[in-house]
Amino acid sequence: MKKIRNLTKAFFVNSSREFAVPFWTIIFPTLFFVLFVGIFENIGTSENLDLKVGIYYEEPLQGVIKTTFDDVFSPSDSNDIPFQVVEYDSFEKGLQNLKNSEISAFVVFPENFNLLNLKFFIETTEVPDIKVYYTNDSASMYAKDIFEVFIDEINIMMYTRGEEVKLTVNEEIIGIKQSEPYRYRDFLFPAIILMSVLTVAVFNMPFDFSYYVEKGVFKKLNSTPIKGNEYFFSFLLSHLILLLISLIVLYIEAYLFDVSSYIYKPGFIAYSGFSILVILSVGLLLSSFYKNMGSAEAISQVIYQATIFLSGFYFEVTNTPWFIRWYVYFNPATYLVDGLRKLMTGNVLVPVNIIVPVIWMMASILIFSMSYKGMVYREK
């Protein structure tokens, strides 16, 4: 045990001595998360969102109110509203379409809302509120906010036509009220976890193995009391410690950024651990293939970039051209990041989220175990 502890410490100190290792494993993922959340979380605009607002009138609008709403919501070249208005003749149908995400928000003009016309003359007239229903989906909340901006515009228009008459809006969220909206930071966080693991698996471990092969370290080990399995366990443990530090930093950052509380649930943590085992197994597989630092650097860069951008880490990749889409489905990281996101939204995993990564893990361990002894004691 003491021998393994000393070896692990030596490996950890040796790999952490160069600034590049802790930077790419710990610092870069945290900076990447901050930059991408800051840049992309609020980038959505009405031009790239297909927003539909359903409207239901419990009784037809009349008078000044009807004229004002027609001026604001009727489509024209001078009145480019950032959403499509869909009228319903049934309250139940509109509410059901909202729950099915067929519309982004549902607005109900209540019975007796036409009393607002009298409020121009009789200020004490009681007018029921407009009711706005929405869900915890980001597009739905965005549509609700936009509709409120247009209500403010209508208030201004009515003010210019007489006495101040202010519309009031009553909001109600449909579905699970306690659910958190799925923001870009929630979408990105699982990808950042896997990015950190990939850095260790694709760069740190293969590079260290290749370096030891080039320097003849394995040959020298053959003449020492150190056994191959002790060396392997210490080597792997040192990289796991570095990865654990990275994950602790990422979780601290997630807490500060108020990432979804699902990341603290046992299911998410357990599947994260499973993802680490799968990716590190693939890292061991890659380590057994490289014979020098030159090939390790070149091939690792290609594998890392392809895995990062063709796994759905940052954007949808299922619509990529057919000649590169094969890598999306071949890549175990595709299923791992999808599984983590399912758990973050309270959904259950599907069999493919387990089966494909397990196949990769078993195949990688098998191939590595067959080539490890020859690699470690290969004569230079």
List of E strands, the chain: 52-57, 84-88, 105-109, 130-134, 169-173
- Between CA 336 and CA 347, with CA 342 as vertex, the angle to 5 degrees is 145
Q: Which has the closest alpha carbon to 85: 111, 104, 99?
A: 104
Compare 101 and 372 and report the one with higher pLDDT: 101
Beta bridge partners of 56: 88, 108
Q: Which has the closest alpha carbon to 359: 269, 307, 304, 281?
A: 281
Confidence of residue 126 (pLDDT cuts 50, 70, 90): confident
Instruction: Give yes or no for residue 265 having a pLDDT over 90.
Output: yes
* 126 exposure class (CB count in 10 Å sphere: 0-12, 13-18, 19+): exposed
User: Treating both helix axes as pointing N-terminal to C-terminal, what angle do 138-160 and 63-73 enclose, rounded to 10 degrees?
Assistant: 130
pTM of the model: 0.63
Q: Which has the closest alpha carbon to 311: 326, 328, 330, 324?
A: 328
- Say if residues 57 and 109 touch (Cβ distance below 8 Å): yes
The CATH fold assigned to 49-171 is: abc type-2 transporter like fold (3.40.1710)
Confidence of residue 203 (pLDDT cuts 50, 70, 90): confident
Tokens 């959904």 belong to: 347
Amino acid identity for residue 343 in this structure: L
Q: How far is CA 222 from CA 225, 290, 323, 373, in A?
A: 8, 20, 46, 11
- Between CA 365 and CA 372, with CA 371 as vertex, the angle to 5 degrees is 80
Instruction: Give yes or no for residue 371 having a pLDDT over 90.
Output: no
**Domain spans in the chain, listed from the N-terminal domain onward:** 49-171, 181-376
Q: What is the pLDDT of residue 68?
A: 74
- Say if residues 190 and 344 touch (Cβ distance below 8 Å): yes
Q: What are phi and psi of 106, to 5 degrees?
A: -130, 120
Confidence of residue 47 (pLDDT cuts 50, 70, 90): very low
Q: Tell me the average pLDDT across 75-104.
A: 79
